[in-house]
Amino acid sequence: MFNDFLEAQELLKNISKDQSTYEINEALKTIKKHNEDLYLQTLKSFDTSTLANVATITPDHILEDILEHLSITKIAKMVEELESDDATDLIKRFEELNSEKTLAILNRLSSEDKEEILRLKNYDENTAGAYMQTEIFTASIDESIEKAIKRYRILKHSGQVNQIFQIYIIDGNGKLCNSINLSDLLLWDFKLSFADIIKNNSEKYKSYCIKDYEDIQKAIDIVEDYDLSVLAVINDNGVLLGRITYDDIHDLIQENATEQIYNLAGVDADVEEESAFKAAKARAFWLMINLTTSLISANIISLFSGEIEKLVALAVLMPIVASMGGNTGSQALAVTVRKLSLNEVEFKDAKKVILRESGISLLNGLIFAIIMSIIAFIWFKTALLGLVIALSMLINLALAGFVGSFVPLTLKKFKIDPAVGSSVVITAITDGLGFFSFLLLAKMILL
């Protein structure tokens, strides 16, 4: 642990221009854990460019420190270092932490940057416009390649444009016509105009685009389907507004996947970045629910305590039924949540999805019912005991498949994240039903 601290100190003392933002952020978090004073001193020593890059990926508790310990002027300069989409995201996060200071930061920005951020902030969270950056390079359809390249060189040197993948070709009204990759542009005579190139190559230089109010999931699908590095964003009239780059799409895919995994486990991603106490407190909520459902299962078992006393084999075998049901339900849940996340299924497909998962679970139930009935017979030398566990496993696994698909589909229908709480609900049902069906069948058939 102490070696990590020394390594973090050394890294932050010698930050190079090409230093990974991730490494800087991790080193900063390490120093914060060991020495709060040194951490604050290091934070204050960052130049605005380093601070801006770190702020885009750092957890909220470090952003709180930035707001509390750095000047409004320095934070404003830091925001101006970022591209429009990152600057807007950062302002949104600041706003959630301290709306008063965020307003002061906005008022310190240049009028152009402030106007741009406020415009992007107005988009709904799940729309393409909320993720676009307005730093784009355009060329008029009648402009020559040579003139456009000279203009790009000037803008690049002045820092007004950063990484450019494509040149967007627009008409006199700003409407998007086509787009050409920079690598393709080098193949043409620089004296030609873009109109000359496009005339016989309109389909080749087709520009993929999305409207600013359309769902961001559509943008993800287009980028993945056509293997794009960038996607243009237009308005209803076809006017070019900005672009969404692949790194943003990649981050969205990763965030969605991470959120689903954390939600399935009942864990808050943001809280996990903070102190152990806060993480433990956040996890305790779902553990309390799990404890409650476990007590319900325990109460079901207590109803059959007399039967268990008469036949000890019941106590040995009943956890197997519940465990198999829980795992089957988790499998159906994972598959259904993934399909919902990727928009492969909707609630209208519920019947098809539920029947498929229930069928798969029933088939597995039949296979493992036969296996367990043979094992129970050999183990306890009681044929009827094998029949009891076989019937119980069939019932529990079939229901587990049904619940594992039905619960997330229903949550999605009511606009609730299908991963949140699903695993707890499914475990409670499969455990409770597994114990109840097994013990009830044993009472009816064996005792």
CATH number at residue 424: 1.10.357.20
Average pLDDT over residues 308-333: 89
Q: In the structure encoding, which two tokens stand for residue 389, read together?
A: 């566990």
Backbone torsions φ then ψ of 378, nearest 5 degrees: -65, -40
Q: What is the pLDDT of residues 185-222, one digit of tens each?
A: 888 999 999 999 998 898 899 999 999 999 998 999 89
Q: Which residues contact 100 (CB under 8 A, 6 or more apart)?
A: none
- For residue 377, being part of any structural domain is answered with yes
Pairing of strands 230-234, 209-211: parallel
Regarding whether 167 and 113 lie in a shared domain, the answer is: no
What pLDDT is attached to residue 344? Answer: 79
Q: What is the domain extent for residue 158?
A: 138-245
Q: Among residues of the chain, what percentage have pLDDT more than 90?
A: 57
CA distance 143 to 169: 9
Choose the final residue of a domain: 195, 210, 245: 245
What pLDDT is attached to residue 402? Answer: 93
| Mean per-residue pLDDT of the chain | 88
Regarding whether 219 and 363 lie in a shared domain, the answer is: no
- For residue 72, being part of any structural domain is answered with yes
CA distance 66 to 286: 32
CA distance 75 to 71: 6
Nearest Cα residue to 177 out of 169, 188, 166: 169
- For residue 256, being part of any structural domain is answered with no
Choose the final residue of a domain: 123, 149, 172: 123
Average pLDDT over residues 233-237: 96
pTM of the entire predicted model: 0.68
- For residue 33, being part of any structural domain is answered with yes
Q: What is the pLDDT of residues 331-381, one digit of tens each?
A: 998 888 888 877 778 788 889 999 999 999 999 999 999 999 999 999 999
Nearest Cα residue to 357 out of 328, 323, 395: 328
What pLDDT is attached to residue 92? Answer: 95
Q: In the structure encoding, which two tokens stand for residue 345, read together?
A: 């299924």
Distance of CA 151 to the CA centre of its chain: 38
- For residue 262, being part of any structural domain is answered with no
Regarding whether 164 and 116 lie in a shared domain, the answer is: no
Choose the final residue of a domain: 93, 123, 153: 123
CA distance 398 to 317: 19
Regarding whether 156 and 55 lie in a shared domain, the answer is: no
What pLDDT is attached to residue 411? Answer: 83
Regarding whether 144 and 18 lie in a shared domain, the answer is: no
What pLDDT is attached to residue 263? Answer: 65
Regarding whether 366 and 274 lie in a shared domain, the answer is: yes
Whether 441 and 392 have beta carbons less than 8 Å apart is answered as yes
Tell me which range, 14-18, 50-54, 293-297, 429-433, is most confidently predicted by mean pLDDT: 50-54
Regarding whether 362 and 280 lie in a shared domain, the answer is: yes
Supply the DSSP string of 83-133, one letter for each residue. Answer: -HHHHHHHHHHHHHH-HHHHHHHHHHS-HHHHHHHHHHHTS-TTBGGGG-B
How many CB atoms are closer than 10 A to CB 183? 9
CA distance 277 to 267: 14
- Whether the pLDDT of residue 257 is over 90: the answer is no
Q: What is the pLDDT of residues 104-162, one digit of tens each?
A: 999 999 999 999 999 999 999 899 999 999 989 999 999 999 999 999 888 888 877 77
CA distance 312 to 109: 75
What pLDDT is attached to residue 271? Answer: 53
- Whether the pLDDT of residue 417 is over 60: the answer is yes
Q: Among residues of the chain, what percentage have pLDDT more than 70?
A: 93
Regarding whether 226 and 273 lie in a shared domain, the answer is: no
CATH code assigned at 208: 3.10.580.10
Regarding whether 327 and 431 lie in a shared domain, the answer is: yes
Regarding whether 315 and 442 lie in a shared domain, the answer is: yes
Higher pLDDT, 418 or 433: 433
What pLDDT is attached to residue 194? Answer: 94
What pLDDT is attached to residue 4? Answer: 84
Nearest Cα residue to 233 out of 252, 253, 208: 208
Whether 314 and 430 have beta carbons less than 8 Å apart is answered as no
Where would I find the beta strands (DSSP E) of 137-283? 138-140, 166-170, 176-181, 209-211, 230-234, 240-245
Regarding whether 142 and 119 lie in a shared domain, the answer is: no
Whether 169 and 180 have beta carbons less than 8 Å apart is answered as yes
Residue pointed to by tokens 């229901």: 399
- For residue 129, being part of any structural domain is answered with no
**Beta partners for 233?**
210, 242
- For residue 155, being part of any structural domain is answered with yes
Nearest Cα residue to 328 out of 294, 375, 353, 363: 363
CA distance 184 to 169: 14
- For residue 130, being part of any structural domain is answered with no
Q: What is the pLDDT of residues 293-315, one digit of tens each?
A: 888 888 888 888 888 888 889 99
Supply the DSSP string of 346-408, one letter for each residue. Answer: -GGGHHHHHHHHHHHHHHHHHHHHHHHHHHHHHHH--HHHHHHHHHHHHHHHHHHHHHHHHHH
Tell me which range, 12-16, 417-421, 435-439, is most confidently predicted by mean pLDDT: 435-439
421: confidence class by pLDDT, cuts 50, 70, 90: low
**Beta partners for 379?**
none
269: confidence class by pLDDT, cuts 50, 70, 90: low
Identify the sign of the CA torsion 391, 396, 401, 407. positive
Whether 332 and 405 have beta carbons less than 8 Å apart is answered as yes
How many CB atoms are closer than 10 A to CB 338? 16
- Whether the pLDDT of residue 255 is over 60: the answer is yes
Average pLDDT over residues 379-386: 91
Among 79-88, 110-119, 161-170, the least confident range: 161-170
Structural domains in the chain (count): 3
- Whether the pLDDT of residue 68 is over 90: the answer is yes
What pLDDT is attached to residue 312? Answer: 86
Burial 220-253 (b: 16+ CB within 10 A, else e): bebbeeeebebbbbbeeeeebbbbbbeebbeebe
Regarding whether 379 and 236 lie in a shared domain, the answer is: no
